[in-house]
Amino acid sequence: MRDTASGPRVLLRRLRELMQEPMEPQDRLDRIVHDIAANMVAEVCSLYVLRSDSVLELYATEGLNKNAVHLAQLRLGQGLVGTIAASARPLNLSNAQEHPAFAYLPETGEEIYHSFLGVPVLRAGRTLGVLVVQNKTMRNYREDEVEALETTAMVIAEMIATGDLSRLNRTGVELDLRRPVSFTGSAFNDGIGLGHVVLHEPRIVVTNLFNEDSEEEVRRLETSLNSLRLSIDDMLSRRDVAFEGEHREVLEAYRMFANDRGWVRRLEEAIRNGLTAEAAVEKVQSDMRARMIHMTDPYLRERMSDFDDLANRLLRQLMGRGPEDIAQSLPKDAIIVARSMGAAELLDYPREKLRGLVLEDGAATSHVVIVARAMGIPVVGQMKGAVSMAENGDPVIVDGEEGAIHLRPQPDLETAYAEKVRFRARRQELYRELRDKPSETRDGVGIDLLINAGLSVDLPHLADSGAAGIGLFRTELQFMVASAFPRAEAQERLYRDVLEAAHGKPVTFRTIDIGGDKVLPYFKDAEQEENPALGWRAIRLTLDRPGLLKTQIRALLKAAGGRELKLMLPMVTELSEIAQAREIIDKEVRHLSRFAHHLPTSLKLGAMLEVPSLLFQLDELMKAVDFVSVGSNDLFQFVMAVDRGNTRLADRFDPLCAPFLRALKTIADAGRRNRTPVTLCGELAGKPISAMALAGIGFRSISMSPASIGPVKAMLRELPLKELEAFFADNLDAPAAKVPMRALLQAFADDRGIPV
Ligand code: PEP
Ligand code: MG
């Protein structure tokens, strides 16, 4: 190689000029390989591009037979080029023919070349092609030459990614980057969403690749690295609950990486080779990701994604970009794609632009999913790999019916889905027609259908759905989306708005249910717990912090002046907790009446049945309260000992199994026996087949997400309840049948044309 210090720089400058000149893509590629060969004093330089059918096609060459361009092909893993693409690692060989993977392609005439250096063309950790130089003499390419070729490969990656090469494809052949892919996972909220990908934590795409002044770029990198390190130290020094436990571990890892000498050295090297600081971060990260992609150790993989996050932070520092800009530039049909996400983060996105949510993790009863359901957007989860395969702006279809996504769909699939959307719109029309019809079974038994809500965005749903009222108002959502405890006035205002929007329909407010997976980042008293679901949460927490409960109760009492107030307590374990809460409520009532406040006309106090201990004192419970509401999400979690947020176990146990249905039936029976109204407000109520089962075992009131009201009502109006009761009389207590209960219920519905 000639001038080793300036070699890569000269080459990059040349490439920049070539990229800016107007010319046909094939001519540009031909010039690029020619210039690389000249710069590196190589007799051959060739570019292979990976197609969506896993074939590497020769796109340009200097030195090999030009007639082989677009004809010479290798499969992924085949030959040296295929090996580089499959492993995402460079190969540097002084005698290529001796390598066991060597495969001779006669059309190229490459037999006379001995030394071989090939590097993968990488972008965001994905291999898009392979760039090769060859020489006749047996030589080993130096480390700085490998580095230079890798940097050049980055420029080519950009050409591929921006679609510059797609004009060279033969019809029917696609490049790998634009390949349509489908994923299947779990359906968390029904609906079909057509739109464009918005990565929740976007990988920042660097388009400004070449620097003008390396030393200035190194200084820019240093400044940004310093502020990054300071911000991490600052987060670590705060004794904030949000930064404890796992968060703390992640931050410690960030700190370690941000001070990693090897990383900083590689970044500086890339800059000295002519890249901008941003492009250097992207390059080093891309190399590292590609090397780690085959790792199976979950711990190391996790650390890799920490490193990715850190690199993204550094890029943001360098580009001076904040998360606000991202929300601003949201397309009007955004489909959010995230590894995982908190409920509050979802609410940062403007509702009117959201068409769907795709999660790599998550479970149907996790809170971000509950919030998404309240917002009425289709949600799918357990979509492993979706984040790395998607690019911001890619067209995507979310199928919340089947639990699938289609990334970069083919036109015929898009047309089929557009038809499906029209079909669903017609069905919605049918549900709207049902809205004012009575909610009763075919044999005339009335079942109250109520909605679950928690934010003011939910309120219009009450009228839209024709529900009989709000069966569960999750007051903690207001706390979860705030950055500090909402003031008493803000609480009172929300409760008043809710009651006003209800126009006299009943509303059941649940006192704040925080703890467990509902974390308030600003709540300093909470500690990291070994088993948060079984920990200091809900009524346990509010009885220990009565100030919190008193403020809320006072806000509720004031907001409900002149109306009925229905209050319920979450996660009751012992009846004494109800008595203690009642004392606090009575005291607040006395206080307000002393100051001549307008009080509610009546006050009903209920308990949620979520903890199995209450199953063994049902009669006492029914007598201690004015109503009971079954929280089937938590009750199922505790009865089956299955974490409701654990993705791995999400589909393992079925709530429609005989033991759980028997438990639910004992609750409905006890309510009837004691004349205490019973309702059920977990996610179970919202699926037509499980709502049917609930009616069959005696529930006459159920509360669900607003979008479920139509399908559940349509089911009920076709349901011969007497027949279903007879079915349960025969089957519920029978010895375990070979056929699962769900299948029996499905057959019951199918035989009678009940839409479930
Ligand atoms: C439940 O546990 O079923 C319930 C309705 O409460 P949440 O989902 O808010 O915990
Ligand atoms: Mg619960």
pLDDT digit string, tens, across residues 48-73: 999 888 899 999 999 999 999 999 99
Can 367 be counted among the known catalytic residues? Answer: yes
Residue nearest to atom 6 of ligand 1 (CA): 631
DSSP state of 351: G
Binding site membership of 8 for ligand 1 (Cβ less than 6 Å) = no
Q: How far is the CA of 550 from the centre of ligand 2 (A)?
A: 21
Binding site membership of 682 for ligand 1 (Cβ less than 6 Å) = yes
Task: Tell me what percent of the residues of the chain surpass a pLDDT of 70.
Answer: 91
Q: How far is the CA of 623 from the centre of ligand 1 (A)?
A: 23
**Mutate which of 188, 365, 510, 687 for ligand 1 pocket (most atoms within 8 A of beta carbon):** 365
Among 251-260, 388-397, 434-443, 622-631, the minimum mean pLDDT is found in: 251-260
3-state secondary structure of 64: coil
Describe the strand order of the beta sheet including 91-93 as a list of residue ranges: 73-75, 55-62, 44-50, 126-135, 115-123, 91-93
User: What is the per-residue pLDDT for 701?
Assistant: 98
Q: DSSP alpha helices (H): ranges in 625-720?
A: 632-639, 658-674, 688-696, 709-716
User: CA 276 to CA 291: how far, in whole Å?
Assistant: 23
Q: Residue 566 belongs to what H/E stretch?
A: strand 564-569
User: What is the per-residue pLDDT for 15?
Assistant: 84
Q: How far is the CA of 613 from the centre of ligand 2 (A)?
A: 15
At 667, the pLDDT band (50, 70, 90 cuts) reads very high
What ligand is nearest to the CA atom of residue 684? 1
User: What is the per-residue pLDDT for 546?
Assistant: 93
Instruction: Specify the higher pLDDT residue, 484 or 356.
Output: 356
User: CA 308 to CA 293: how far, in whole Å?
Assistant: 12
Binding site membership of 681 for ligand 1 (Cβ less than 6 Å) = yes
Binding site membership of 645 for ligand 1 (Cβ less than 6 Å) = no
Q: What average pLDDT is seen over the chain?
A: 88
The answer, yes or no, to whether residue 622 has pLDDT greater than 50, is yes
Q: How far is the CA of 539 from the centre of ligand 1 (A)?
A: 13
Binding site membership of 317 for ligand 1 (Cβ less than 6 Å) = no
Q: Give the number of the atom of ligand 1 that is nearest the alpha carbon of residue 634.
A: 2
Q: Give the number of the atom of ligand 1 that is nearest the alpha carbon of residue 365.
A: 8
Q: Give the number of the atom of ligand 1 that is nearest the alpha carbon of residue 632.
A: 3
Can 45 be counted among the known catalytic residues? Answer: no
Q: How far is the CA of 368 from the centre of ligand 2 (A)?
A: 14
Greatest mean pLDDT among 7-16, 260-269, 696-705 lies in: 696-705
From the list 45, 200, 367, 406, the catalytic residue is: 367
- Rounded to an integer, the average pLDDT of 334-338 is 94
* C-alpha angle 257-259-263 in degrees, rounded to nearest 5: 65
In the block, residue with structure tokens 């049948």: 737
Q: How far is the CA of 571 from the centre of ligand 2 (A)?
A: 7
Cβ 268 vs Cβ 221: under 8 Å: yes
Per residue in 230-261, pLDDT (tens digit) is 888 877 776 544 444 555 666 677 788 788 88
Among 160-164, 202-206, 436-440, the minimum mean pLDDT is found in: 202-206
Ligand 2 ion: Cβ-proximal residues, 5 Å cutoff: 631, 634
pTM of the model: 0.65
Binding site membership of 610 for ligand 1 (Cβ less than 6 Å) = yes
User: What is the per-residue pLDDT for 240?
Assistant: 47
